[in-house]
Amino acid sequence: MPATYDSIATTTVSGTSTTTIALTSIPSTYTDLVLVTNIKTTNNNNGNGWIRFNSDTGTNYSQTRLYGSGSGAGSDRQTGTDYLNLNVGGFNNGILSVAQIYSYSNTTTYKTVATRINTPDAYVSLNLGIWRSTSAISRIDVTIFEGYINAGSTVTLFGIKAA
Amino acid sequence: MAITYIALSTTTVGSGGASQVEFSSIPQTYNDLKIVVSGRTTQASTADSVYFRFNNSTANFNARVLYASGSGVGNFTDTRYAGSEPGSSATANAFSNIELYIGNYTTSSNKIYLVDSVTENNAVEAYTYLAAAQWSNSAAVTSIIVEPNAGTFVQHTTITLYGIKNS
């Protein structure tokens, strides 16, 4: 039986001077991608980060979020952003996020992403986003807004084959 | 390229039912774990919770759960939440589909896991759940117990533990 769930790249942060983790030269031989991030930062509190594809800093991203905090539930939407949201943890604890990136290598459709963001002490959310580009995704940048990525944080990209 | 997604163990509940399913001596050679549950409980309800124990501990868990019932959305907090499954009041032969992803289970930091769960029922009441959960403990996870909130797992409940490597 062929292996259909491969680890393409992984980064474990060892210092405290990193703000961006770049996954480059992503092969186009898979059907979908799964990006698993468990990031904590040098900040005291949880914070925000982003995902960008192919270094595109244009306002070509949109996203709809469904969330629940334990005391309230709701939805919000961002259009024309230059990133897709990704929450990151504070100093002690990471935030586990799993992003499914569908049909990333096709060159005819925009790319859709479903991200499960898990902040156990704050909220749970599902973000559905789109990158309005027909380019195949060959690079993913994971960046935090404030501070630095703390040692022990991990980012792994898996490739999934349909056959 | 190395195989990175491996079934470590699977349990199918027999005719006598089971009060819990345990995965012990979990190897520490993977990065993440995934558990897939197709389950149903004898509890008289249309949907009831499934709970975890890590290393047989029931302490220091917290979860935030978002759900949709078909007629509305809601949310709640819980402790050892690990999904929901149909009970004896639900349509016969309907089982849950629960997927749990446990990141960095060998780390000395707190263990965060996510839950995606559905409880189908051929009636008005059926649910979808998303949860963010955490076990605040520095110990590596070496054993996991999956158990119903009440009642027992019925025959044909199947629970599989997968190990995921990042290299």
Residues of A within 8 A of B31 (CB-CB) are: 10, 154, 156
The domain segmentation of chain A, as residue ranges, is 5-160
pLDDT at B1 over 60: no
pLDDT at B2 over 70: no
Is B64–A93 a contact, with Cβ atoms under 8 angstroms apart? Answer: no
Confidence at residue A87, expressed as pLDDT on a 0 to 100 scale? 79
Is B75–A92 a contact, with Cβ atoms under 8 angstroms apart? Answer: no
Write the CB contacts of B93 (distance below 8 Å, at least 6 apart in sequence).
none
This prediction's pTM: 0.91
Confidence at residue B28, expressed as pLDDT on a 0 to 100 scale? 97
Q: How far is A102 from chain B (nearest CA, A)?
A: 18
Instruction: Encode pLDDT of B118-147 as tens digits.
Output: 998 887 778 999 999 999 999 999 999 999
When pLDDT is averaged across residues B48-68 and rounded to a whole number, the result is: 96
Backbone φ, ψ for residue B27 (5° rounding): -60, 145
pLDDT at B72 over 70: yes
Whether the CB-CB separation of A143 and A2 falls below 8 Å is answered with no
Would the ipTM clear 0.90, i.e. be above it? no
Is B134–A93 a contact, with Cβ atoms under 8 angstroms apart? Answer: yes
CATH among 1.10.10, 2.40.50, 3.40.50, 2.60.120 for B5-164: 2.60.120
When pLDDT is averaged across residues A70-94 and rounded to a whole number, the result is: 87
A98's tokens: 């799993």
Question: Which CATH architecture is the domain A5-160 placed in?
Answer: Sandwich (2.60)
Residues of A within 8 A of B113 (CB-CB) are: 96, 118
Q: How far is B114 from chain A (nearest CA, A)?
A: 6
Confidence at residue A1, expressed as pLDDT on a 0 to 100 scale? 53
